[in-house]
Amino acid sequence: MKEIIIGTRGSKLALCQAEEIKEKLEKNGNKCSLKIIKTKGDKILDIALSKIGDKGLFVKEIEEALIEKSIDIAVHSLKDLPSILPEKLCIGAISERQDYRDVIVSKEGKKLLSLPHSSLIGTGSLRRKALIFKLRQDFIFKEIRGNLDTRLRKLEEGEVDALILAAAGLLRIGLGDKITEYFSTDIMLPAVGQGSLAVETRKDSGEILHILKKIDDPESHISAIAERSFLIELQGGCQIPIGALAEVSGKKLTLEGLIASLDGKRIIRGKIEGGKNRAEELGKELAEKLIKDGGEDILKEVRK
């Protein structure tokens, strides 16, 4: 096999993630190199994600490079990958999932409920906003874009009083000591795929697909299928407050999901269990259940 060219964004976190996959591939005797590709999401930093849409914002240019064969594989945070991929592409591997929880990083080391009244909270995620609104209605939210280093610097400079982030990102770049508080999934169900890395490639890359199978984590992959199936059925994305978490135990799969109104006042939440070989079906079934339980009204309202 010739050298495998890995496409990645250029942020510190993206490079750490690409290096993680590169290391796994090289342990299996493959020669690899990284190719940095700038995406639309890296260039537009002054507009909220929920306003510019999320269809491939951080992956479109990388996927184009895959289709054009200037790279062989691409490494993404799974939560950034659109639920529907281009026809010629597929997920070749999901690496072992890291910590899927959301966390708070505050300047003075205060936990969420200890923050002063009307604190400025940095997050662009509608899911995080809605679930925090459920706990505290006095907070003021501020869109903070940019890579992790940029967001942490803005916190230090006093632009916000706290940031809500994914634990996995901070842990991957060695900044776990910055975390003030880990949120229980009872309070904040994570984004679909949060904590997982997806390796995307071409469907016709037989040799590459065979190589990727060796670094795939089956349980993480099954969880990803269930969560993404749930998201697809709801036709959701960054513009809709949706959370999901699938976990495999033996032959059993448990999937929990929620749909929230933007103000956090209405949250439709449910759980389903079944055989892990039914991951896709379980995702659809849970989505249908939540829609029937009142989620349809919330989705219509949010999409307006």
pLDDT of residue 43: 52
Nearest CA to 226 out of 251, 256, 197 is that of 256
pLDDT of residue 41: 59
Q: Does domain 217-304 have CATH number 3.40.50.1820?
A: no
How many angstroms separate the CA atoms of 128 and 52, rounded?
A: 18
**Max CA distance (Å), the chain:** 59
Nearest CA to 193 out of 165, 227, 222 is that of 227
Please state the domain extents for the chain: 1-95+196-216, 102-182, 217-304
How many angstroms separate the CA atoms of 56 and 66, rounded?
A: 14
pLDDT of residue 14: 95
Intrachain domains 1-95+196-216 and 217-304 with the same fold: no
DSSP letter, residue 134:
T
Angle at which helix 148-156 crosses helix 12-27, to 10 degrees, equals: 140
How many angstroms separate the CA atoms of 98 and 77, rounded?
A: 11
Q: Is residue 94 within 8 Å of residue 216, measured between CB atoms?
A: yes
pLDDT of residue 242: 95
pLDDT of residue 200: 98
How many angstroms separate the CA atoms of 211 and 262, rounded?
A: 43
Q: Does domain 1-95+196-216 have CATH number 3.40.190.10?
A: yes
pLDDT of residue 238: 59
pLDDT of residue 19: 97
Nearest CA to 80 out of 16, 133, 14, 131 is that of 14
Cα angle, residue 88 at apex, residues 82 and 91 outer, rounded to 5°: 50
* Fold category of 102-182 in CATH: D-Maltodextrin-Binding Protein; domain 2 (3.40.190)
pTM metric for this prediction: 0.92
pLDDT in tens, the chain (304 residues): 789 999 999 999 999 999 999 999 999 999 999 999 987 655 555 455 555 455 466 788 999 999 999 999 999 999 989 888 999 999 999 999 999 999 999 988 999 999 999 999 999 899 999 999 999 999 999 988 778 988 999 999 999 999 999 999 999 999 999 999 999 999 999 999 999 999 999 999 999 999 999 999 999 999 999 999 999 999 866 578 999 999 999 999 999 999 999 999 999 999 999 999 999 999 999 999 999 999 999 999 888 7
What Cα–Cα distance (Å) separates residue 29 from each residue in 1, 26, 32, 47? 10, 5, 10, 43
Could you tell me the end-to-end alpha-carbon distance of the chain, in angstroms, rounded to an integer? 50
**Lookup: tokens for 237:** 């994305």
pLDDT of residue 46: 47
Look up 80 and say whether it is catalytic. yes
72, 80, 102, 161: the catalytic one is 80
pLDDT of residue 54: 53
Query: pLDDT digits over 60-112, tens only?
Result: 899 999 999 999 999 999 998 988 899 999 999 999 999 999 999 998 899 99
Q: Is residue 231 within 8 Å of residue 83, measured between CB atoms?
A: yes
